[in-house]
């Protein structure tokens, strides 16, 4: 055969394949989401997320140490309080569950990078992400409480805050309050492009955050829309977001790419609980090779344009990177 161009020349062995690899990943880009709850002596597995646990503050150190040993140096805390009320007061309580977890993690693991989810849904008795006016979530009255929550997290030791509520103007409100308190160097990672997705089901069980009525479609995005995601991303950059997140990841790779093309900030992708649960269930039935699927999904997010990957598989992906199977 007389062929001048043979793409297979660059696939002949592992050395050349890695040399010409277009998508490169690093452990430093991984963030592990972690659930912390009230109580003591607690390490309880989440039924819909096999291998994931809710930890009391006194028991989370073991898992944090495992993350550090794997090379995963960033964690995002989600709090599960015992007490909930109409105004989500546990979210901004200086002795709230996330605030205590931050102080303990900072004491035990000074080199760990601590990020917090900023939202009201885990703390409100109605399960919505803001204050209610009748059966509607009132956007503007929620902003001050979100900003207070972010400030309380930073004062307890958070390195970064990540608002996930999808209220209009919340990045500006948080940036303003942090700056006024002297925390001008604290970055905000905004869940800017967050869809009203069925992929969140296991998380809502894990965090006890399902809404008591209705749904979140009046503030989370319609999954049919991509141009709206660009608008949300650009608005949050203008308000002071330092990192833009797209959530979920797997079904929204096109959106990750479109956001990457228009913003000049780092882009994060959150591989959510439903993605995790599907892999675990299919692997348990022998339908897929778990490690290969985990790696392929992660590479897909990075290839689409993500710089940062939030995933419950952070330790496993770090291992795949260490072994040279991805990255």
User: What residues act catalytically?
Assistant: 194, 247
Question: Which of 100, 76, 96 shows the shortest CA–CA distance to 88?
Answer: 96
Other C-beta atoms closer than 10 Å to the C-beta of 13 total 8
Q: Which two structure tokens, joined as six digits, stand for 204? A: 């809502």
Classify each residue of 231-263 as buried b or exposed e, where b means 16 or more C-beta atoms within 10 Å of its C-beta. Answer: ebbbbbbebbbbbbbbbbbbebbebbbbbbeeb
- What span, in angstroms and rounded, lies between the C-alpha atoms of 327 and 321? 5
User: In the chain, where do the E strands start and end?
Assistant: 30-37, 43-46, 49-56, 74-80, 113-118, 132-133, 136-137, 160-163, 189-194, 243-247, 267-271, 308-311
Hey, what are 87's tokens?
A: 């105004």
Give the number of other CB atoms < 10 A from CB of residue 218: 12
């Amino acid at each position: 055969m007389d062929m001048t161009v043979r793409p297979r020349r660059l696939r002949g062995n592992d050395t050349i394949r890695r040399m010409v690899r277009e998508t490169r990943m690093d452990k430093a880009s991984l963030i592990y989401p972690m659930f912390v709850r009230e109580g003591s002596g607690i390490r309880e597995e989440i039924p819909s997320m096999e291998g994931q646990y809710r930890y009391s503050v006194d028991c989370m150190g073991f898992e944090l140490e495992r993350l550090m040993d794997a090379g995963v140096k960033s964690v995002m805390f989600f709090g599960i309080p015992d007490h909930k009320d109409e105004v989500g007061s546990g979210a901004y309580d200086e002795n709230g569950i996330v605030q205590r977890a931050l102080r303990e993690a900072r004491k035990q693991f000074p080199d760990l990078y601590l990020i917090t989810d900023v939202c009201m849904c885990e703390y409100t008795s109605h399960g919505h992400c803001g204050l209610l006016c009748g059966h509607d979530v009132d956007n503007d009255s929620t902003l001050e409480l979100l900003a207070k929550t972010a400030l309380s997290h930073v004062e307890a030791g958070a390195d970064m805050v990540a608002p996930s509520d999808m209220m209009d103007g919340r990045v500006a409100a948080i940036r303003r309050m942090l700056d006024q308190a002297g925390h001008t160097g604290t970055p905000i990672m905004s869940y800017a492009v967050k869809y009203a997705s069925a992929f969140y089901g296991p998380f809502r069980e894990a965090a006890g955050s399902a809404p008591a009525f209705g749904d979140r479609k009046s503030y989370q995005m319609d999954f049919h829309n991509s141009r709206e995601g660009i608008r949300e991303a650009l608005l949050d950059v203008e308000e002071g977001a330092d990192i833009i997140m797209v959530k979920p990841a797997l079904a929204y790779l096109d959106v990750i790419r479109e956001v990457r093309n228009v913003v000049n900030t780092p882009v994060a992708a959150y591989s959510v609980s439903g993605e995790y649960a599907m892999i675990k269930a299919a692997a348990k039935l022998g339908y897929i090779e778990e490690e290969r699927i985990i790696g392929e999904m992660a590479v897909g997010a990075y290839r689409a344009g993500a710089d940062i990957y939030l995933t419950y598989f952070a330790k496993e992906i770090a291992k795949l990177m260490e072994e040279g199977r991805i990255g």
